C-alpha cells in the first residue's frame, strides 16, 4: 500500500522508465497539439500503430489552424484505417472550436475536458505531459498495474487518482503517467507479467502473493458472424458507391451497395436485388476472387462481393456516386471495402 506514498517506489518507477521507455518519436517534441492527436489516436489502439500514423498526420495537418481549415472529409480520409471514426470527427470539431475561441488549446485538464473526444484519460494525459499538471491519466494499463499492486481487482478510477496524487509530489505527473502505461505494456501485461524485472515488485501485493491474474473477463463478448453480399457494379469503367446511412455499419463512410444476408440466402441473388432496387439492369455477375474477412466492433464479417456491369434502366435516383476505382475523390472507405476497391478490375472494357 505504499505506492501512493513510498517515494522510493516512485523513483524506481521513474528510473525504470528513463532506462526502458521506448524512444517513440512523439516524445521528442511534445506540443499540446501533437500530444492531443497522439492521445486520441492511441485510444483503443496499440501505441506502435498510433505512432506511425501520428507522424503522417503531422505532415498533413501540422497545426490546429490547418486542421480546422480542412474539411471533415479530408480529416476522415487521413484517419482511414484507424477505426473508431468518431475520433476523427471529434478532433476536427475540437479544432474548429479552438480556432473559434482564439486558437489556443485549453491548458488545464478541466479546460481540455470541454473539447469533444477528450475524456478523463486524454485530458489528464495532455495536461500532465505538456503542462505538468499533477493529475493521473488512468487508462487500462494504469488500472491493471494499480489493481495488482494493491491486490484490489475492483479499485475504482477515483481511488487510483487519489493514490497517484501522492506520487506526483516526488516525480512529475507526466513521467509517472507514461511510466505506468509503459510498465503495463512491457512488464505488467495481462498474461504472464514479468515481475522479475518490475521496479514495483517489492511492494506489489499481487506479485508477493503470486496472484497476478486479477482480471475478470466479461462474458458474452464474442463476435457475431455476419455475411454481407456486396454489389460491385460497373458502368463505363465506374463503380457505384454509397454513403452508409446512420444506424448501419460504418455509418458515414463510403461503401458499395451491400446487405447482410442469412445463411441460406444466395448472395448473387441479393446482389441482383440490390441492383434492381437502384433501377439498374445487370449483366452477368462474377464473384470477386479473394477473401474479404475482418472484424468490426462486435461482428466478424465476411464480404461476398459480386462484380458485374450495370445499365441504368430508369433515371438515376440513388444517393450514390459512380467513381473510378483509381480516383475515389477523397472518400473514406472502411478497410474491408478499401481492399475490395483495390482488387476491382480497372480495365476499360465495353462497360
The nearer residue to DNA, 54 or 278, going by C-beta atoms, is 54
The nearer residue to DNA, 187 or 233, going by C-beta atoms, is 187
Question: Does 39 participate in catalysis according to the annotation?
Answer: yes
The nearer residue to DNA, 189 or 312, going by C-beta atoms, is 189
Tell me the torsion sign for CA atoms 78, 80, 81, 82. Answer: positive
Instruction: Give me the least distance between CB of 63 and DNA, in Å please.
Output: 21
The nearer residue to DNA, 82 or 310, going by C-beta atoms, is 82
Distances (CA, A) of 317 to 25, 243, 246, 279: 49, 14, 20, 8
The nearer residue to DNA, 39 or 285, going by C-beta atoms, is 39
Instruction: Give me the least distance between CB of 328 and DNA, in Å please.
Output: 14
Residue 159 in grid coordinates: 481511488
Residue of 39, 133, 178, 182 marked active site: 39
Instruction: Give me the least distance between CB of 41 and DNA, in Å please.
Output: 9
Instruction: Give me the least distance between CB of 347 and DNA, in Å please.
Output: 26
Instruction: Give me the least distance between CB of 81 and DNA, in Å please.
Output: 5
The nearer residue to DNA, 22 or 236, going by C-beta atoms, is 22
Binding stretches for DNA (CB under 7 A): 24, 38-39, 42-47, 49, 81-86, 90, 116-123, 125, 139-141, 178, 181-182, 184-185, 190, 215, 217-218, 221-223, 249-251, 293-298, 300, 334-336
- Region for 329 from its dihedrals, namely left if φ exceeds 0, alpha if ψ lies in -120 to 50, beta otherwise: left
Instruction: Give me the least distance between CB of 330 and DNA, in Å please.
Output: 16
Q: Name the residues annotated as catalytic.
A: 39
Amino acid at each position: 500500500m505504499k505506492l501512493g506514498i513510498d517515494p522510493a517506489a516512485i523513483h524506481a518507477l521513474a528510473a525504470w522508465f528513463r532506462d526502458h521507455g521506448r524512444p517513440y518519436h512523439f516524445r521528442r517534441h511534445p506540443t499540446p497539439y501533437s500530444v492531443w492527436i497522439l492521445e486520441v489516436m492511441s485510444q483503443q489502439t496499440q501505441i506502435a500503430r498510433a505512432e506511425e500514423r501520428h507522424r503522417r498526420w503531422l505532415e498533413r495537418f501540422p497545426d490546429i489552424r490547418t486542421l480546422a481549415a480542412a474539411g471533415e472529409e479530408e480529416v476522415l480520409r487521413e484517419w482511414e484505417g484507424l477505426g473508431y471514426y468518431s475520433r476523427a470527427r471529434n478532433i476536427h470539431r475540437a479544432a474548429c472550436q479552438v480556432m473559434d475561441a482564439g486558437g489556443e488549446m485549453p491548458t488545464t485538464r478541466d479546460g481540455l475536458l470541454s473539447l469533444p473526444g477528450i475524456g478523463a484519460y486524454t485530458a489528464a494525459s495532455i495536461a500532465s505531459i505538456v503542462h505538468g499538471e499533477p493529475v493521473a491519466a488512468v487508462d487500462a494499463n494504469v488500472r491493471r498495474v494499480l489493481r495488482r499492486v494493491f491486490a484490489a481487482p475492483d479499485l475504482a478510477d477515483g481511488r487510483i487518482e487519489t493514490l497517484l496524487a501522492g506520487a506526483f509530489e516526488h516525480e512529475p505527473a507526466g513521467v509517472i503517467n507514461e511510466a505506468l502505461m509503459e510498465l503495463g505494456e512491457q512488464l505488467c501485461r495481462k498474461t504472464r507479467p514479468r515481475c522479475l524485472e518490475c521496479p514495483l515488485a517489492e511492494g506489489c501485493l499481487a506479485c508477493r502473493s503470486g496472484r497476478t491474474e486479477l482480471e475478470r473477463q466479461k462474458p458474452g463478448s464474442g463476435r457475431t458472424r455476419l455475411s454481407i453480399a456486396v454489389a460491385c457494379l460497373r458502368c463505363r469503367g465506374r463503380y457505384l458507391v454509397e454513403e452508409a446511412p446512420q444506424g448501419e455499419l460504418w455509418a458515414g463512410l463510403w461503401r458499395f451497395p451491400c446487405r447482410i444476408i442469412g445463411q441460406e440466402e444466395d448472395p448473387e441473388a441479393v446482389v441482383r436485388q440490390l441492383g434492381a432496387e437502384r433501377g439498374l439492369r445487370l449483366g452477368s455477375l462474377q464473384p470477386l476472387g479473394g477473401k474479404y474477412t475482418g472484424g468490426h466492433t462486435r461482428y466478424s464479417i465476411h464480404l461476398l462481393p459480386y462484380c458485374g456491369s450495370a445499365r441504368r434502366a430508369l433515371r438515376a435516383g440513388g444517393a450514390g456516386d459512380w467513381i473510378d476505382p483509381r480516383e475515389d475523390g477523397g472518400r473514406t472507405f472502411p478497410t474491408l471495402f478499401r481492399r475490395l476497391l483495390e482488387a476491382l478490375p480497372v480495365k476499360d472494357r465495353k462497360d
